[in-house]
Amino acid sequence: MSTNQSIIVSTNSYILPFCKRSSTEHSPRHSLTYYRMGTLRAILKNPDDLFPLMKLKLAARHAEKQIPPEPHWGFCYSMLHKVSRSFALVIQQLPVELRDAVCIFYLVLRALDTVEDDTSIPTDVKVPILISFHQHVYDREWHFSCGTKEYKVLMDQFHHVSTAFLELGKHYQQAIEDITMRMGAGMAKFICKEVETTNDYDEYCHYVAGLVGLGLSKLFHASGKEDLASDSLSNSMGLFLQKTNIIRDYLEDINEVPKCRMFWPREIWSKYVNKLEDLKYKENSVKAVQCLNDMVTNSLSHVEDCLTYMYNLRDPAIFRFCAIPQVMAIGTLAMCYDNIEVFRGVVKMRRGLTAKVIDRTRTMADVYGAFFDFSCMLKSKVNNNDPNATKTLKRLEVILKTCRDSGTLNKRKSYVIRSEPNYSPVLIVVIFILLAVILAYLSGNRS
């Protein structure tokens, strides 16, 4: 399960709490300076982002203080903040019992993913570990040194995760064990197999993300908060998010050392280039964008199922937990579509827009509105000369019709399709000063 995460410092990965993490890092001083300058520029351009960003920052600081006193639980929640600040923030909304189960589910799959992602582990060593990983969660002594930085700490001190796992209710343990076993077996299968066809692509995404959807549905049901969702709907929730991550992370994966990771199916990319890595070269820019659009169109096939899954949720906290990543995914696809920058660097939504999504995604009306707005944005980028334009437009029309038919589009704020606000220079200066004071205050608290 090649994976990636974070939210406030990097909005890249508020897509799926169990999907693609970025290997791109900066020194702490450089990261902080880059973050501040980028935030200042974005807020000067979009002043209405300020308050959602402030709310998000305060919520994150509050979440960081909610660390349990027990050593093993303290390790688990501290590690959660280190590997995914976004997930650590949203999980705080869940009831305590379900929150603990989801936290451990996340860390177990993150550890499994760390084994799969470490390209330095020989195949004959990696495959048996993946296949038997579900058994290790019952062993308080087991650990395996791999990964880097915080992921290495997770693997070296995995006994804390096992100890916490053994304190969960049996129904939670069984759900986590079952999904971990199936995921490990699927990962092992694709260690020795390339993603050739679109069926292979769906199968790989099922193992690394669709099963996450099934597992979460089981945990929600075990908590008594939700009915058990169908496997097909749960699977689509995971596939939509994972495919978005795979599309966005093309360059990171293809440049992975010591061995590149190739998740785009040959059935799609071979229509445009001879080798998958050829897409990153400037001389292939036209073909690369056409291939990218083909991949985005493929991922849109899961949206209807995702909307149905979310519509059926009853618990408000679980709804937000599921809905925010889905909105981020459709937003990311809208940014990526027809965008050559996917092959040059990282394409992501600005932090302020991410903060708005998190702040405003509370009801199904908000979800329909966001999917409508981002689908309109994507539709406006479709070039009729694109080989897949007809298929893309057809899938977008289905999504737009579903959103219109909900009858809720006039019941929420549109934060995507809007005219540019006309802010006075005085207001811009006031906001700049206010932001500078806030950043100085937060910096003082850190030191």
Cite the active site residues: 204, 248, 261, 321
Residue type, 326: Q
Q: Which two tokens stand for residue 375?
A: 């689908």
Secondary structure of residue 187 in the 3-state scheme: helix
Kindly report each contact of residues 224-229 with a partner whose C-beta sits within 8 Å and lies 24 or more positions away, as own/partner: 225/95, 225/98, 225/314, 225/315, 225/318, 226/313, 226/314, 226/315, 226/318, 227/312, 227/314, 229/309, 229/312
Helix 149-156 / helix 71-83 crossing angle, nearest 10 deg: 160
**330, 344, 223: which is closest to 280 by C-alpha?**
344
Q: Which residue is listed with tokens 């540019």?
A: 420
Kindly report each contact of residues 428-434 with a partner whose C-beta sits within 8 Å and lies 24 or more positions away, as own/partner: 428/44, 428/47, 431/43, 431/44, 431/47, 431/50, 432/40, 432/43, 432/44, 434/50
Secondary structure of residue 4 in the 3-state scheme: strand
Cα–Cα distance measured from residue 231 to residue 217, given in angstroms and rounded to the nearest whole number: 9
Secondary structure of residue 267 in the 3-state scheme: helix
Length of the chain: 447
Cα–Cα distance measured from residue 70 to residue 138, given in angstroms and rounded to the nearest whole number: 19
* CB-facing half-sphere around the CA of 285: CA atoms within 13 A: 6
Tell me the backbone φ, ψ of residue 20, rounded to 5 degrees: 0, 120
**72, 146, 73, 61: which is closest to 110 by C-alpha?**
146
Cα–Cα distance measured from residue 176 to residue 173, given in angstroms and rounded to the nearest whole number: 5
